[in-house]
Amino acid sequence: AQSVTQPDIHITVSEGASLELRCNYSYGATPYLFWYVQSPGQGLQLLLKYFSGDTLVQGIKGFEAEFKRSQSSFNLRKPSVHWSDAAEYFCAVGAEGSSNTGKLIFGQGTTLQVKP
């Protein structure tokens, strides 16, 4: 069965420090992969997506993610974290059999806390 694992439930980084949020997936074919961010009281916002091509994907707000097929990973990175980045981050994979943006399977989420 398809699944998405975010090993880190909670991460705390200092403002200005670099960030990496981990995501591992289980999927039978080439996956469609996404990172969403959910700020308190807000809906989900798409940060970036991978469908095919260049395995290093650039997103909004200075985020990037790298697809590594050999490791079944799609880790999210940011070189310098801002206090406004504090939020819940979700990795998701497009469900097998759906279109590239159809049904999504989400990881458990990682809560990012930013220290001043």
- List interacting residues with another protein (CB under 8 A): 34, 36, 42-46, 49, 51, 90, 92, 95, 99-109
Shortest approach of another protein to residue 14 CB, angstroms?
Answer: 25
CB closer to another protein, 36 vs 85: 36
CB closer to another protein, 69 vs 103: 103
Which residues have C-beta within 8 Å of that of residue 81, sequence separation ≥ 6?
A: 13, 14, 15, 16, 17, 18, 19, 112, 114
CB 7 within 8 A of CB 110: no
DSSP string of 29-94, one letter each residue: SSPPEEEEEE-TT--EEEEEEE-SS-SEEE-GGG-EEEEEGGGTEEEEEESS--GGG-EEEEEEEE
CB closer to another protein, 13 vs 44: 44
Shortest approach of another protein to residue 23 CB, angstroms?
Answer: 12
Radius of gyration, CA atoms only, the chain: 14
CB closer to another protein, 3 vs 55: 3
